[in-house]
């Protein structure tokens, strides 16, 4: 049976859906090749800039000692809260692994022009970085209501970069690595969300309208899985992630990602009830059923004058088939969830 969502329950459902979508990168899904984009240097640097006074991002395509071609993304930031360093490796099949390290603020040293160095030995046993940084273009200033939010400029980044994935992917890098698309961003700390368009993307009346869609997401114990598709389509984007705390170095974490296009699951919506039967197709294996009898429709507005309905289902049951639903990984093991994982289902109508 469908019910009007009480404000507290509605807020919780929205928060759960947003959290899982963020954890799995659901919004970036369109094809398996987008795995290399889910944690891009740009996104990593943007997250760092929110905390740090300055950050850099860069990327390279390198071949590992296991003869595997990998997209390497590097980002680092420094500020009053210390320093951060992230390295991600992605293949072309939709698999990605990202490492985050806590480092000293002095790890990234830049002068006012963006010239400096990125040097650290604090990410052992994974690798060593000793890169020189120099500006290669003009500053681009971002403002909001007359106030400077940040400024950025292109960079040249090259030097020693070695990284060991500690997996079947092997090691990448060498003494003379040249990164591409490098950029430095210096943040002033001024809030610029009011100038990002709409109301921040939470479904308010200023947001752009999107098409009809159905999605499910589930999580448990650091593992999250999600899928989204448009009514009438034959393929659905599926994404899974897993976060793991590493023994060394202190405070380090690794997040594993896998994206794929899979057949649209069999979906039945009757009154306020919903049932989704997810069947596998490589690189996915196994199956799972998600179901709920408690849906909460919420009418929302977009582009000021149009309306659409988003229905959230709570108390969703997640039940694996005889073979649990999983996304295969060539490193660190497949991604899968246990029976009873926390889950949410959402259906959005076309705006009119």
Q: What is the pLDDT of residue 84?
A: 92
For residue 111, the model assigns a pLDDT of 93
pLDDT at 12: 52
pLDDT tens by residue, 146-196: 899 999 999 999 999 999 999 999 999 999 999 999 999 998 888 877 776
User: What pTM, to 2 d.p., does this model score?
Assistant: 0.82
| CA max distance for the chain | 63
The pLDDT tens digits of the residues spanning 33-59 come to 334 444 554 455 545 444 447 999 999
pLDDT of the residue at 30:
32
Write the pLDDT tens digit of every residue in 266-288.
999 887 788 999 987 788 999 99
d(CA 279, CA 288): 7
**What residues form DSSP beta bridges with 69?**
63
Task: Map out the domains of the chain as residue ranges.
Answer: 7-30+198-348, 35-195
The span from the CA of 79 to the CA of 25, in Å, is: 27
Alpha-carbon distances, residue 252 vs 123, 165, 171, 247 (angstroms): 8, 13, 18, 8
Whole-number pLDDT of residue 207: 75
CB of 21 closer than 8 Å to CB of 27: yes
Q: Quote the pLDDT of residue 170.
A: 97
Give the per-residue pLDDT at 6.
Answer: 52
pLDDT at 271: 75
**Distance between alpha carbon 230 and the CA centroid of its chain, in Å?**
21
Q: Which residues of the chain have pLDDT under 70?
A: 1-52, 196-206
C-beta separation of 321 from 301 below 8 A: no
């Amino acid at each position: 049976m469908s019910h009007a969502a009480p404000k507290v329950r509605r807020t919780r459902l929205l928060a759960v859906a947003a959290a899982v979508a963020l954890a799995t990168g659901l919004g970036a899904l369109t094809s398996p090749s987008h795995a290399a984009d889910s944690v891009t240097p740009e996104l990593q640097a943007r997250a760092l800039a929110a905390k740090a006074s300055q950050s850099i991002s860069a990327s390279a395509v390198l071949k590992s000692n296991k003869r595997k071609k990998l997209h390497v993304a590097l980002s680092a930031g420094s500020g009053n809260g210390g320093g951060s360093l992230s390295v991600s490796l992605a293949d072309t099949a939709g698999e990605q692994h990202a490492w985050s390290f806590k480092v000293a603020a002095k790890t990234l040293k830049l002068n006012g022009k963006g010239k400096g160095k990125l040097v650290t030995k604090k990410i052992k046993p994974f690798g060593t970085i000793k890169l020189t940084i120099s500006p290669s273009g003009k500053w681009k200033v971002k403002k909001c209501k007359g106030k400077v939010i940040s400024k950025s400029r292109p960079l040249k980044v090259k030097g020693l970069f070695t990284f060991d994935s500690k997996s079947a992917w092997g090691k990448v890098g060498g003494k003379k690595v040249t990164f591409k698309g490098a950029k430095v961003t210096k943040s002033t700390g001024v809030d610029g969300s009011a100038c990002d368009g709409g109301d921040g993307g939470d479904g308010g009346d200023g947001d752009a309208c999107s098409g009809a869609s159905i999605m499910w997401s589930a999580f448990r114990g650091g593992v999250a899985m999600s899928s989204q598709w448009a009514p009438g389509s034959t393929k659905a984007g599926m994404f899974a992630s897993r976060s793991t705390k590493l023994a060394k170095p202190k405070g380090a974490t690794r997040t594993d990602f896998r994206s794929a296009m899979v057949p649209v699951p069999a979906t039945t919506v009757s009154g306020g009830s919903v049932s989704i039967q997810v069947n596998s197709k490589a690189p996915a294996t196994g199956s799972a059923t998600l179901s709920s009898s408690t849906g909460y429709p919420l009418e929302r507005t977009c582009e000021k004058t149009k309306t659409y309905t988003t229905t959230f289902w709570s108390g969703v049951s997640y039940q694996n088939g005889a073979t649990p639903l999983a996304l295969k990984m060539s490193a660190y093991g497949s991604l899968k969830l246990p029976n009873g994982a926390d889950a949410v289902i959402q259906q959005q109508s076309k705006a009119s």
